Amino acid sequence: MGSGWLWIGFNAFVLVMLALDLGVFHRTSHEVSFKQAIAWTLIWVFCALAFNFWIWHDPAFFFTDSMLREYTAAGKLPAGATMADLGDQAALEFLTGYLIEKSLSVDNVFVFAMTFSYFSVPPAYQRKVLLWGILGALVMRAVMIFAGAALIHEFSWVVYPFGGFLIVTGIKMLVQMEQRFEPEANLVVRGFKRIMPVTTGYREDRFFVTEKGVRHATPLFVVLLVVEFTDLIFAVDSIPAIFAITTDEFIVFTSNVFAILGLRSLYFALAGIMEKFHLLKIGLGFVLVFVGIKMCLGHTAYKIPTGVSLGVVMIILAAAVAASLLFPKRARSEAPRRPE
């Protein structure tokens, strides 16, 4: 789905929004206030829902008659379906994919909070790390989406390993609730420190500096490496999850982009209250298991409709949030600290 100009137009919109965020509203490094974070979170959610409404209201703008025939041949639409029916299905797929990606991205927020605490990153510098981290995430996810779509279109049986992987990952998330967080032990970080010296302290919000004629990276760049590597690991889970909903590259890409773009503001909005949702990880584990099962059943008589998937995911997440609030977690005695 989506012609070349449609892809260009969507990416141009993303760049304009990022330019507004960076160049107009947040030109200098400063601590992002809760009010700003909530405002930008709502802006990105509104953009995603408006885009979803556009797909539903004007499917002819996005689809062609050949796409209608493809959806019908794939069994997603009944024989004799109209373009309006196609818009309904595509909008439902986008909304379900967006909700799954948004919920899975909350796990990133936990890791961002632990990373910034571990490396004692000043609040004023966190915004820059997340901006470049999200830009890198968009590029990596685009590559993974197109590679995954090509695999599925060429080898339809690959959905079964993908589905099995999601089930295993979800079960692993359920049984491994507590994990030690040691970014310094990350292989990428250790390898980088072997090829480039790192300063002992921060140099304002700079990633690289030259001291005594030698180019150094700063700890802020090391934090960026951890953020990028973490997102790559999470993308290995989340990209197959959305392919369980749809194999349309444009829907997969746009729902991913909208979920990721709002991640930075979501972090600043939730960073102080993430411990209140300690059971959300269990909910995300169940979501992964469910979408893995859905993917495995996709080519059988027991395939799960997209509308049912949306309802199940919403119920799981709502139950996890409600249980977290009803059964609060005991406060920890110590926060993670960066070793001397």
For the stretch 161-195, pLDDT in tens is 878 888 887 888 777 655 555 666 667 777 888 88
Residue 333 is assigned to a structural domain of this protein = no
Q: What is the mean pLDDT of residues 303-315?
A: 84
pLDDT tens digits for range 66-120 = 888 888 887 788 888 888 998 899 999 999 989 888 887 777 777 777 788 778 8
**Mean pLDDT of the 294-312 span:** 80
Decide if 197 is inside a domain.
Answer: yes
Place of tokens 């959905």: 159
* Secondary structure string (H, E, C) spanning the chain: CCCHHHHHHHHHHHHHHHHHHHHHHCCCCCCCCHHHHHHHHHHHHHHHHHHHHHHHHCHHHHCCHHHHHHHHHCCCCCCCCCHHHHHHHHHHHHHHHHHHHHHHHHHHHHHHHHHHHHCCCCHHHHHHHHHHHHHHHHHHHHHHHHHHHHHHHHCHHHHHHHHHHHHHHHHHHHHCCCCCCCHHHCHHHHHHHHHCCECCCCCCCCCEEEECCEEEECHHHHHHHHHHHHHHHHHHHHHHHHHCCCCCHHHHHHHHHHHHHCHHHHHHHHHHHHHHHCCHHHHHHHHHHHHHHHHHCCCCCCCCCHHHHHHHHHHHHHHHHHHHHHCCCCCCCCCCCCCC
Q: What is the pLDDT of residues 206-262, one digit of tens each?
A: 889 888 888 899 888 988 888 888 778 777 777 888 888 888 888 888 988 888 887
In a domain, 335, yes or no: no
* pLDDT at res. 46: 92
- Could you give the percent of the chain with pLDDT greater than 70? 87
Contacts of 85 (CB under 8 A, 6+ apart): 77, 78
217 touches 207 (CB < 8 A): yes
Instruction: Provide the pLDDT for residue 340.
Output: 45
Domains of the chain: total: 1
Rounded to the nearest integer, the mean pLDDT of the chain is 80
- Segments forming the whole domain that contains residue 116: 4-326
Residue 31 pLDDT: 63
pLDDT score recorded for residue 92: 92
236 lies in a domain? yes
What's residue 184's pLDDT?
61
Task: Flag whether pLDDT at 29 surpasses 60.
Answer: no
**The pLDDT of residue 133 is above 50:** yes
The answer to whether the CB of 312 falls within 8 A of the CB of 100 is no
Q: Could you tell me the end-to-end alpha-carbon distance of the chain, in angstroms, rounded to an integer?
A: 52
Residue 157 lies in a domain: yes
Among 126-130, 150-154, 256-260, 306-310, name the one with the lowest average pLDDT.
Answer: 150-154
pLDDT of 51 reads 93
Answer yes or no: is 278 within a domain. yes
The answer to whether the beta carbons of residues 338 and 198 sit under 8 Å apart is no
User: Predicted confidence band at 32 (pLDDT cuts at 50, 70, 90)?
Assistant: low
Asked if residue 9 lies in contact with residue 70, where contact means CB atoms within 8 angstroms, the answer is no
What band does 62 get if pLDDT is binned at 50, 70 and 90?
A: confident
pLDDT(196) > 80: yes
> What does the pLDDT look like over 258-284, one tens digit per residue?
888 877 777 777 765 666 777 777 888
Tell me whether residue 124 is in a domain.
yes
Domain assignment present for residue 331? The answer is: no
> In percent, how much of the chain has pLDDT > 90?
6
Q: Please determine, for residue 304, whether its predicted confidence score (pLDDT) is greater than 80.
A: yes
